[in-house]
Amino acid sequence: MGINVLLIDDSAVMRAMVLKSLQMSGVPLGAVHQAANGADGLAVLRQHWVDLILLDISMPFMRGDEMLEQMRADSALAALPVIVVSSERGTERVARMQELGAVHLPKPFTPEQLRDVVRDITGVRQ
């Protein structure tokens, strides 16, 4: 059985690229959901079972760091694994998200790098 993934990025191009990388990485995929900002992402989480979130930071309406803060404060969502996919490096926002348990994967990345991070954070091998 594959893992259910939620891709959150305001760029449709980035969502397509992350999905393509996931498909090439060999990670077993289940349902793939998409959202264009943190608020829409939270709405998806209320409706669907998700095993892993790939989350951008800078987005309109609700940023990734704001969404992560809300998730960690919600007992139903607090333990969900989150990978922060962003070109930001070393910023306070990235550090804060890492403190909240997210793993940072800087752009650009290869499918192999993505696979390794997914394996580390979910424990899923094949």
Partner 1 sequence: MSVSLQKSLYSAAVYTFERVAFLVPDIPPDAAQRQLPVEAVASITFSGPARGTLQLHAGDGLLPLITANMVGMDEPDEALQLDALGELANIICGQFLPALDSVSAFEHKPPEVFTGEAFSVDPPAVLSARAEIGLESSRADVLLFLYPDSRSES
Cβ at position 99, least distance to partner 1 in Å: 15
- CA-CA distance, 44 to 16, in Å (whole number)? 18
Residue 73 vs 95, nearer CB to partner 1: 95
Cβ at position 9, least distance to partner 1 in Å: 9
SS3 of the chain: helix, strand, coil, percent, to 5:
40, 20, 35
Residue 5 vs 36, nearer CB to partner 1: 36
CA atoms within 13 A on the CB side of 119: 11
Residue 10 vs 51, nearer CB to partner 1: 10
Write the CB contacts of 30 (distance below 8 Å, at least 6 apart in sequence): 1, 2, 3, 4, 5, 51
Cβ at position 92, least distance to partner 1 in Å: 7
Q: Which residues bind partner 1 (CB under 8 A)?
A: 10-14, 16-17, 20, 58-59, 86-92, 94, 106-108, 110
Query: Going by DSSP bridges, is the β-strand pair 82-86/52-55 parallel, antiparallel, or unpaired?
Result: parallel
Residue 16 vs 78, nearer CB to partner 1: 16
Cβ at position 108, least distance to partner 1 in Å: 5
